[in-house]
Amino acid sequence: MSAQISQKHPTGLYVLFFAEMWERFSYYGMRAILLLFLLDAVRGGMGMNAGEAAAIYGLYTASVYLLTLPGGWLADNILGQKKAIWYGGIVIMLGHIILAIPGGSMLFFLGLTTVAVGTGLLKPNISSIVGELYPEGGARRDAAFSIFYMGINLGSFLGIAIVGYLGERVSWHMGFGAAAIGMLLGLIVFRYGSARYLQGMGDVPPARIDTAESNAQKGANKRLGYLFIGALVVLLIVLQTSGVLDMTTAQGLAKGAGIIIVIISASYFLFILFAGGLTRVEQHRVVVLIILFLAIALFWAGYEQAGTSLQIFAERHTQRVIGGWEVPSSWFQNFQPTFVLLFAPVLASLWIYLSSKNLNPSIPVKFAAGLILLGLSFFVMVAASNIAVTGQLASPLFLTFTYFLHTIGELCVSPVGLSSYTKLAPKRYVSQLMGIWFVGASLGNLIAGIFAGGFDEENIMQMPALFNQVAIVTTVFGFILLIFWKPIKGWMGGIS
Ligand code: PHE
Q: How confident is the model at residue 382 (pLDDT cuts 50, 70, 90)?
A: very high
| Residue owning the nearest CA to atom 3 of ligand 1 | 152
DSSP codes joined into one string, 236-275:
HHHHHHTTS--TTSHHHHHHHHHHHHHHHHHHHHHHHHHH
Q: Which atom of ligand 1 is nearest to the CA of 417?
A: 9
Q: Which residues line ligand 1 (CB under 6 A)?
A: 24, 65, 152, 414, 438, 441
CA distances from 488 to 90, 266, 268, 483, 494 (A): 43, 19, 21, 10, 11
Residue 144 has pLDDT above 50, yes or no: yes
Q: Which atom of ligand 1 is nearest to the CA of 337?
A: 1
Q: How confident is the model at residue 94 (pLDDT cuts 50, 70, 90)?
A: very high
Domain boundaries, the chain: 8-206+235-491
Q: Which atom of ligand 1 is nearest to the CA of 27?
A: 4
Q: What is the C-alpha to C-alpha distance for residues 18 and 8, in angstroms, rounded to an integer? A: 17
pLDDT digits (tens, 9 = 90+) for 195-219: 999 998 888 887 766 555 667 777 7
Of 75-84, 413-422, 446-455, the least confident: 413-422
Residue 4 has pLDDT above 70, yes or no: no
* The pLDDT of residue 183: 98
pLDDT digits (tens, 9 = 90+) for 229-256: 899 999 999 999 998 888 889 999 999 9
Residue type present at position 132: E
Buried b (16+ CB within 10 A) or exposed e, 83-97: bbbbbbbbbbbbbbb
Mean pLDDT value across residues 187-202: 94
* The pLDDT of residue 2: 39
Mean pLDDT, rounded, of the chain: 92
Choosing from 152, 422, 445 the residue with most ligand 1 atoms within 8 A of its CB, the one to mutate for a pocket test is 152
Q: What is the C-alpha to C-alpha distance for residues 58 and 307, in angstroms, rounded to an integer? A: 10
Q: What is the C-alpha to C-alpha distance for residues 58 and 71, in angstroms, rounded to an integer? A: 20
* The pLDDT of residue 12: 96
Ligand 1 mean position, distance from CA 230 (Å): 31
Q: What is the C-alpha to C-alpha distance for residues 43 and 353, in angstroms, rounded to an integer? A: 52
Ligand 1 mean position, distance from CA 165 (Å): 23
Residue 5 has pLDDT above 70, yes or no: no
Q: What is the C-alpha to C-alpha distance for residues 302 and 473, in angstroms, rounded to an integer? A: 10
| Residue owning the nearest CA to atom 2 of ligand 1 | 152
* The pLDDT of residue 7: 66
CA distances from 107 to 28, 58, 96, 98, 395 (A): 20, 19, 11, 7, 38
Mean pLDDT value across residues 368-387: 98
CATH code of the domain occupying 8-206+235-491: 1.20.1250.20
